[in-house]
Chains A and B, each alone.
Chain A
Amino acid sequence: MTDSHSLRMSVFAALFAALTAMGAFIAVPIGPVPIVLQNLFVMLAGLLLGPRWGLASVGIYLLAGFCGLPVFAGGQAGIGRLIGPTGGYLIGYLPAVYIIGRMTRGSDHRLLREAGAMVLGTLLLYACGVSWLKVVTGLSWTKALAVGMLPFLIGDALKIAAAIPIARSLRPVMQTEVPAADPMRMETAGRTGSTP
């Protein structure tokens, strides 16, 4: 692993952490529970960055929230949030991103494999989130599942369905090491010539 590669990957990991923080602010009002885009970006980090840098990205995001910067859902933050009833979902991003990155690494990006990895990652996320919710609030298992998992499943299915084409279209932008090698990238670069 060259140093240039690791520098590039850490910039991308920071980008994904920033996108995750932004995704926590953007809520799409579909259905009874608004869909927060946080875990879409966590899944994309797993797909596009791989297990190691995906973990780094989620780790930086959690560290920022832990330090009290307003990056969690609705602009919340702090240690209280991490050990509060919904903290399990935040910690659960770590195993989720790792397993998604691990399962899709090296495969030639087959649809079923990616979808399966994301389903497994989401299940891991809920395993952490719901069991922590149960421990903290003392709800019964059925009630904890009804409050902390069932309302979000439709949104998660939509997010998994969206993540695959998004990852497809972003992979060429990510994988070009030489700037002008890819016609797709040149088009993007031309269009955004004046952006900072």
Chain B
Amino acid sequence: MHMRVAGEPAGVIRMSPISYRLGTGALHALDARFKFVILIVLSLSVVKAGALHLALLACGQIALLSFLGCSFKSLTTELRYLLVLLLLVFLVRAFTMPGEAVFRLYWLSFSRQGAAAGALIAARMLLVVLLGTTLVITTRPAEIKAAVEWFLKPFPGLPAARIGTMFGLLLRLIPLLSVQFAETMDAQRARGVENRINPVYRLTWLAIPFLRRSFSAADRLSIAMEARCYTDDRTGHRLTATRRDWLVLAVGIVYGIFVLAT
């Protein structure tokens, strides 16, 4: 919430925690390409990780995210649907897997093995999400764009520069759209939309203005890009790898392999 624009009334801007934040830490300085590789290696190894490594990784992740200025509360509100889904996964596993019963609810039995398996799966899913969140928080869209371009360059026939631009735009647009959605909601509330009982009316007058506004924002964006003579072959963000990047990459990969092997 520390990114609120000065002068904006409180409550209008609900900054999503899943967007880039300024910072000067080690993770911000790391080369975006290396971050991508480490992210992919770690999220693959998480799929096979046992409880010990999951706990280790989760503690590290949560400490890192709170260090980066993402409060626990804002994170839980942002990920509430995921948390509900994870709870469901856990409960379904616990009640359907045969095993030693802890307690019974009518004909269902809550088994210990099921609970353990469910908790493991839920923790894995949560960790993958936290890893992605960390990448988005610590990497500028321009760096992500450059990294995507770099990875796609070896493939012939793919317009790497264009894909990179669209990727960067996607990342920039998600927080913008959520701000615009909240604004539209407030605007309709100010017009007394809550007095309307008909849900179709309320949804229509939320969705149509929101989409219209985002479309004209995209329209203005494309005009602005054209006015600045945007072309695909422009000089983008220069990514430079240092010795520290390679070191972090090596540590990440070794740790990933270690998790996979044990």
- Which residues on A are within 8 Å of B, measured CB to CB? 3-4, 7-8, 10-15, 17-19, 21-22, 25, 27, 56, 60-61, 63-64, 67-71, 74-81, 166, 169-170, 173-174, 176, 179, 185, 188-189, 191-192, 195-196
Contact = CB atoms under 8 A, between A and B. Distances in A.
Interface string B116-148: 000000000100110111011000000000001
B213 to A, nearest CB: 5
B183 A195 contact: yes
B214 interface: yes
Contact of B212 (A8, A14, A188): A188
A11 B128 contact: no
24 contacts: A4-B226, A7-B222, A8-B222, A11-B225, A12-B215, A12-B218, A13-B166, A14-B170, A14-B218, A15-B218, A18-B170, A22-B178, A27-B81, A63-B148, A63-B167, A64-B171, A68-B36, A68-B40, A68-B131, A70-B133, A74-B79, A74-B82, A176-B219, A195-B213
Nearest to B224: A11
B216 A173 contact: yes
B94 interface: no
A10 B165 contact: yes
A22 to B, nearest CB: 6
Contacts of B39: 67-68
Contacts of A70: 18, 129, 132-133, 136
A74 B47 CA distance: 18
Interface in B218-262: 218-219, 221-223, 225-226, 230-231
Contacts of A10: 162, 165-166, 169
Most chain B beta-carbon neighbours within 10 Å: one of A3, A74, A191: A74
B158 to A, nearest CB: 10
A63 B213 CA distance: 26
A188 B184 CA distance: 13
B180 interface: yes
A60 to B, nearest CB: 5
A74 B85 contact: yes
Nearest to A15: B218
B163 A68 contact: no
A4 B211 CA distance: 22
Contact of A79 (B43, B82, B222): B43
B188 to A, nearest CB: 12
A191 B107 CA distance: 58
